[in-house]
Chains A and B, each alone.
Chain A
Amino acid sequence: MKIVVCLKQVPDMESKFKIVDDKKVDESQIAFKINDFDNYAVEAALQLKEKHGGEVVIVSAGPDRAAKDIRQAFAMGADWGMHITDPAIYEGDSFVIASALAKAIETIGGVDLVMTGVQTEDLQAAVTGVMVADMLNVPHCTNVVKINTADGKAFTLNRELEGGLNEVMDLTGPAVLTIQSGINEPRYPTLPGIMKAKKKQLDAKSGADLGVSASSRTAFIKMFVPVSDTMAEIIAGAPAEAAAKLVDKLKNEAKVI
Chain B
Amino acid sequence: MAKLLIIAEHRNGKLSDATMELCRIAKEIAPGLGLEPVAAVFAKDDSLAKEVAKYIPEVFAVCDAAVEGYTSDAYAQAVKAVVEAKDVKGVLIPQTYDGVDYAAKAALAIGAGIVSNCNKAVIEGGKLVLTRNIYNGKLQETKSVTTDKFVVTFEKGAYDPAEAGAAGAVSTVAVSFTPSRTKVKEIIAMSAGGVDISQAKIIVAGGRGLKDADKYKDVVLPLAAKLGAEYAGSRPVIDSGWTDASRQVGQSGKTVTPDLYLALGISGAVQHVAGMKGSKCIVAVNKDPEAPIFNIATYGIVADLFEVVPGIMANL
A139 interface residue, CB < 8 Å from B? yes
Inter-chain contacts of B183 with A (CB < 8 A): 169-171
Q: How many A-B residue pairs have CB under 8 A?
A: 260
Inter-chain contacts of A156 with B (CB < 8 A): 185
Chain B interface residue count, CB cutoff 8 Å, equals: 94
- Nearest chain A residue, comparing its CB with the CB of B144: A219
Inter-chain contacts of A246 with B (CB < 8 A): 283, 299, 301, 312
In the complex, the answer to whether A224 meets B135 with C-beta atoms within 8 Å is no
In the complex, the answer to whether B113 meets A166 with C-beta atoms within 8 Å is no
Binding site for A on B (CB under 8 A): 11, 72-73, 76, 95-98, 100-105, 107-109, 112-117, 129, 132-147, 181-191, 202, 227, 235-236, 238-241, 251-253, 259-260, 267, 280-284, 288-290, 292, 294-304, 307-312, 314-316
In the complex, the answer to whether A247 meets B312 with C-beta atoms within 8 Å is yes
Closest Cβ of chain B to A130, distance in Å, is: 4
Inter-chain contacts of B185 with A (CB < 8 A): 156, 168-170
Known contacts A246-B299, A250-B299, A257-B260; 18 further A-B pairs (Cβ under 8 A) = A16-B290, A125-B117, A127-B103, A131-B104, A161-B98, A166-B187, A217-B114, A220-B143, A223-B142, A225-B138, A226-B139, A232-B297, A233-B300, A235-B300, A239-B304, A240-B307, A254-B298, A257-B316
In the complex, the answer to whether B113 meets A233 with C-beta atoms within 8 Å is no
Inter-chain contacts of A167 with B (CB < 8 A): 184, 186-187
In the complex, the answer to whether B315 meets A247 with C-beta atoms within 8 Å is yes
- Nearest chain A residue, comparing its CB with the CB of B313: A243
Inter-chain contacts of B202 with A (CB < 8 A): 256-257
A69 interface residue, CB < 8 Å from B? no
- Nearest chain A residue, comparing its CB with the CB of B72: A140
Contact-residue size bin, chain A (C-beta under 8 Å from the other chain): 35 or more
A21 interface residue, CB < 8 Å from B? no
Our pick among A13, A181, A257 for the contact of B267 (Cβ within 8 Å) is A13
- Nearest chain B residue, comparing its CB with the CB of A180: B252
A165 interface residue, CB < 8 Å from B? yes
Q: Which of A46-54, A116-124, A201-209 contacts B (4 or more CB under 8 A)?
A: A116-124
In the complex, the answer to whether A126 meets B135 with C-beta atoms within 8 Å is no
CA distance A140 to B101 in the complex (A): 8
Binary CB contact string for chain A from 84 to 118 against chain B (1 if under 8 A, 0 otherwise): 00000000011100000000000000000000001
A25 interface residue, CB < 8 Å from B? yes
Inter-chain contacts of A185 with B (CB < 8 A): 240-241
Closest Cβ of chain B to A69, distance in Å, is: 17
A231 interface residue, CB < 8 Å from B? yes
Inter-chain contacts of B239 with A (CB < 8 A): 181-182
In the complex, the answer to whether B189 meets A165 with C-beta atoms within 8 Å is yes
In the complex, the answer to whether A222 meets B73 with C-beta atoms within 8 Å is no
In the complex, the answer to whether A217 meets B145 with C-beta atoms within 8 Å is yes
In the complex, the answer to whether A19 meets B97 with C-beta atoms within 8 Å is no
Inter-chain contacts of B115 with A (CB < 8 A): 218
Closest Cβ of chain A to B231, distance in Å, is: 15
Closest Cβ of chain B to A91, distance in Å, is: 14
Inter-chain contacts of B103 with A (CB < 8 A): 127, 130
A187 interface residue, CB < 8 Å from B? no
